[in-house]
Amino acid sequence: MWKKIKQIIFIILILNVLFIIWGRFFNPPITITQIGGLFEYGKLQRDYISYDEMGDKVKKAVIASEDQKFFMHDGFDYSAIEKAMAHNEKGKKIRGGSTISQQTAKNIFLWQGRSWFRKGLEAVYTFIIEKAWGKDVILARYLNSIEMGQGVFGIEAASKYYFGKSSKDLTISEAAWIAAVLPNPKKYDPKNPSPYLTKKHNWIMRQMRNVSLK
């Protein structure tokens, strides 16, 4: 029995290693979150593109919105984590402190949820992809796989869905609108923005001036 368990663990480890190597060069065939969107909304709208095809505006907009220290940290923003923990201890609405690297690990390898087990796995994958993939690959995988609407995944599909154009052709304002729906794309809609979303959009546009892609 123990021998079989060890064999299963070994196979799982080998498959994970192969998937990580695959992810260094290719986008994932599909993710658990994408499968969930397909079942929930009956569609899977996505369009994988290369890092260079994405254009700088949407990269800067998403970094400004989600993780302004992306190119400076090692996968974890410890100050953001501490602030999130302090905020959550007050019993207010739960706030996350995840970096783009952590979100990429979750989106590519894992599932949505807040269990400590999943967070532990997320930390392991985050550490590995920071070492094995590098920042540009992590950002590319994130921007191709992130949920951007109801059954819409990735910034290219989102650009075409919301504005009818490729992501490289977005204006600064349009890029900021796409980034503004994160991290709750099922709730917010750039086509019909709430006062909160409009305020966030304006904030992202200001923050984009401080974002460097290196």
- Residue 183 is predicted with a pLDDT of 83
- Domain for residue 15, yes or no? no
- Residue 189 is predicted with a pLDDT of 87
- Domain for residue 7, yes or no? no
- Residue 173 is predicted with a pLDDT of 95
- Domain for residue 9, yes or no? no
- The stretches of 26-154 forming alpha helices (DSSP H) are 32-41, 56-66, 78-89, 100-109, 116-132, 135-145
- Domain for residue 16, yes or no? no
Cis amide prior to 183 (ω within 30 degrees): yes
What strand order describes the sheet that includes 152-153?
Answer: 45-46, 152-153, 147-149
Its domain, for residue 50, covers: 32-65+72-210
- Domain for residue 46, yes or no? yes
- Measured distance CA(158)–CA(167) in Å, rounded: 8
pLDDT-derived band at 86, boundaries 50, 70, 90 = low
Q: Give the tens place of pLDDT for each residue, 128-174.
A: 999 999 999 999 999 999 999 889 999 999 999 999 999 999 999 99
- Residue 126 is predicted with a pLDDT of 95
- Domain for residue 14, yes or no? no
Is 95 a residue whose pLDDT tops 70? no
Is 76 a residue whose pLDDT tops 70? yes
Where residue 190 sits, what CATH number does that domain have?
A: 1.10.3810.10
Through-space distance between the first and last CA atoms of the chain, rounded to whole angstroms: 50
Identify the weakest region by mean pLDDT among 2-6, 17-21, 171-175, 195-199: 2-6
The burial class, CB within 10 Å (0-12 / 13-18 / 19+), for 28 is: middle
Is 85 a residue whose pLDDT tops 80? no
- Domain for residue 136, yes or no? yes
- Domain for residue 24, yes or no? no
List Cβ neighbours of 47 (8 Å cut-off, separation of 6 or more): 154, 156, 157, 160
Q: Work out how many domains the chain is built from and give that number.
A: 1
Q: What are phi and psi of 74, to 5 degrees?
A: -100, 20
- Measured distance CA(211)–CA(176) in Å, rounded: 13
